[in-house]
Amino acid sequence: MKPKGKRHAATISRERLLSNEEQSVRVLMRRFARFLDAETTEKLIQSFFSKLMIVPGIILVGVVYIDEKRLIKRIKILQTYCCLGIKTLAGGELYERLREKREKTRERMKASLDLITKNNKSIALTEQQNATISCTNTELQGQQAMCSTGKTKYSLTPLNITYSPGVEQLDHEEKQICSVHRILPDVYLHCKGVMIAESRKCGGKLRLMDARKLCRIDVNKTRKIYNHLVSKKLVQQH
């Protein structure tokens, strides 16, 4: 025990002789002890000191400059991994890949929803213009009664979803729904997923009103998806 105490005292004395920058580096490097044992951590620190020159605010290793702020940022990332229960660097890399994948999926979903909103506005404007033209023509032909109902029949060109993201996850009937009612496959899958998840929270039942709040797309398209899920007994009508 006594020799060990002498070595410990010698280490403390040696550290007191270090510059402020060197002491700061040693403190930062010791944070890696969360991932390494004490002996390995000390070897890492000694190896690091044997090759570096200290310049205020910068660590010079050979010809490679490591900004102190970047080192601190990296340590904070490692600390975040610890808080998430990630104990290895491989686990951290896996977490980053999954996080990046989730972000890309979220961005793609947002872009799809924005596109749908834009298309819905364009379709609504076209329908309004067609209704106005139809009413004008009908009046000229002396058929005001038909126009007074305010209803105009129209047909939309089916949406080509052959190469749309998510189409491979749809069955034949779902593809027909998406094509005829102009719903992008990934949007359909998103709405389907949230409806089923919400219905399970409510004992398998789901109201159409709640489904509309969950999907936030055209109400008619929401109704088509909702009716299909009810017919397949994936959700129960409340």
Judge residue 185's burial from the number of C-beta atoms within 10 Å of its C-beta, 0-12 exposed, 13-18 middle, 19 or more buried: buried
Q: Percentage helix, strand, coil, to 5, in the chain?
A: 70, 5, 25
Q: What is the pTM of this model?
A: 0.39
Both tokens assigned to 81: 């991994």
Q: Which of 104, 105, 123, 130 is nearest to 183 (CA)?
A: 123
- Range in 49-63, 89-103, 201-215 with the lowest mean pLDDT: 49-63
Degrees, nearest 5: CA angle 77-74-29: 115
Both tokens assigned to 83: 């808080």
Is residue 153 one of the residues assigned to a domain? no
Is residue 225 one of the residues assigned to a domain? yes
Q: Which of 87, 117, 141 is the last residue of a domain?
A: 87
Is residue 184 one of the residues assigned to a domain? yes
pLDDT confidence of residue 104: 87
User: How many domains, in total, are found in the chain?
Assistant: 2
pLDDT confidence of residue 123: 64
Q: What is the mean pLDDT of residues 16-20?
A: 56
CA–CA distance, 58 with 46 (Å, rounded to integer) = 18
Task: Let me know: does 159 contact 179? Beta carbons within 8 Å.
Answer: yes
pLDDT confidence of residue 138: 43
Is residue 106 one of the residues assigned to a domain? no
Confidence of residue 155 (pLDDT cuts 50, 70, 90): low
Annotate 108-126 with b (16+ C-beta within 10 A) or e (fewer): ebeebbeebeeeeeeeeee
Task: Please tell me the number of Cα atoms within 13 Å of 106 on its side-chain side.
Answer: 6
The CA-atom distances, in angstroms, between 220 and each of 142, 182, 208, 226 are 33, 11, 11, 10
Residue type, 143: Q
- Range in 37-46, 55-64, 80-89 with the lowest mean pLDDT: 55-64
Q: What is the mean pLDDT of residues 6-30?
A: 57
Is residue 119 one of the residues assigned to a domain? no
Q: Which of 53, 87, 121 is the last residue of a domain?
A: 87
Is residue 136 one of the residues assigned to a domain? no
SS3 186: helix
pLDDT at residue 6 is higher than 90: no
Is residue 75 one of the residues assigned to a domain? yes
pLDDT confidence of residue 130: 55
What DSSP letter does each residue of 34-61 carry, written as one string? GTS-HHHHHHHHHHHHHHEEEETTEEEE
CATH of the domain at 171: 1.10.10.10
Both tokens assigned to 177: 């729904």
Is residue 150 one of the residues assigned to a domain? no
Q: Which of 26, 61, 87 is the last residue of a domain?
A: 87
Domain that holds residue 181: 158-238
pLDDT tens digits for 103-152? 888 888 888 777 777 776 666 566 555 545 544 444 445 444 444 445 54
- Range in 35-39, 74-78, 175-179, 186-190 with the lowest mean pLDDT: 35-39
CA–CA distance, 233 with 238 (Å, rounded to integer) = 12
Confidence of residue 202 (pLDDT cuts 50, 70, 90): confident
Degrees, nearest 5: CA angle 159-165-166: 95
